[in-house]
Structure 1
Amino acid sequence: MHQSSNLTHWGIFPKRSEWQMESLVNFVVGKLGDMIVKEAQFLGGVGNQVEWVETELKRIQCCLIDADTKRRKGDARVENWLNELRDVAYRIEDAIDIFYVEIKDSRQKNSNGFLHKFNKFCCMPMKVPCLHKLGKELGQIRNVLDGISKSRVDYGIKELPQDTERGRSQADELPMRAKAYLDVYETKIVGLDADKSNILDLLLNNVEIPRRAVITIVGPGGIGKTTLAIIVFKNC
């Protein structure tokens, strides 16, 4: 038996246009940069992959104006290119979300009792699986971004200078929730409490649903479905 949990979109990027695509890519680039600064020591060698993805996205940013111009003229290939870029941007965001959920959990375990006294020695085994998963996902993302960059050349999408004033304006237009999102994992995951409670209630308290029921979480890409599933799993 399948039950669906329909998530309410946070409203950060409601639809794709050239402006919204730039905002999405800017947002993800910002999260990557924040991750590099705050987690440089923890990331170790995986930090190089994070930096590569950030740099490649910055290059692609310069192509969005020309890409949108071609899309508006009816170029189906460029339309598909933008869709692929949107999907990989959401995938990068999900990878970052999962990483922060997992290191938050390991740090909480590592900050109590006996482990806290031997923090330098005990944290390494706890972070290895997390970094391995992140590194593997970033490797796959890198392959996708390579393909997107090569397709850009094939489709004649040009790099154009970015308007710094426009960039500042876009940053100002991002909702406060999106701006605060970069720091949310330093304290707690926010914005998913209601959905988490609904799913836990379905799993644990609803007598009409078999104990082995499968709850399907559905919704637009990038709204935190994977993060929500991890949070629910850790609360079961």
Structure 2
Amino acid sequence: MVYGKFVCWIKMAEKDFQLWMEAISGPGASIQESQKAYGKWARTYEQDAEKYRFNNHIKVAEILQDLFQENQRDKIRILDIGAGTGLVAKELKKYGFRHIDALEPSEAMADEARKFNLYENYFLEFITGSPSSISANTYDVLTGGGIYAKEAHVPCEAVHEMIRLVKPGGFVVLVANLDLIRASKNYTDLEPLMEKLEMEGKWKRVLRETWIARSVENKTIERIAWCFNVL
């Protein structure tokens, strides 16, 4: 009986997940529609992230832990793009990182992060290939955990802005669902653009890692992490 209830819960979680994914990044979804859906999701997003096994934030923190010694971390300035409710910041603070800003277009999501004082500054913006309101060479690290999806998410050309925002010698750390990237025509040029920028001397790749993770209903998901050193 208990097992039957557990199976039922898993199936409901999978259905809920599909509904949210359609709302934020389904075929034809506009940025405005996606952001409206994120606003509605904000209050339960973190509980759902745990239920649906969204753990990109854990990988982001593990990479930064390897990049910086413990005695360096409280001096590092980080910009978390697509910050949402602050999952990345919560994880980074466990490792001693303290100076973290958020770039997040959804005010409702940012308000959830504000409840826990997770970020020092909040920029309510959507990152694109054009310059944001933030000055160049401001951060030691830029992070993005789960900023890519099928529609209405961060465009390929935003990597130009990521590089602009990071100091020479700093790092860009991105973690994403590779299945979503492969399923979207919007990201056909993402890795080729990353490689082109490396050839042009803008940054140097120090990590590209893929692995298989588990989602609800024990389905497999392929994830990917990149780390680039800005030159």
TM-score normalised to structure 2 length: 0.23
Greater relative contact order (Cα 8 A, min sep 6): structure 1 or 2?
1
TM-score normalised to structure 1 length: 0.23
Larger radius of gyration: 1
Structure (1 or 2) with the greater strand fraction: 2
Structure (1 or 2) with the greater helix fraction: 1
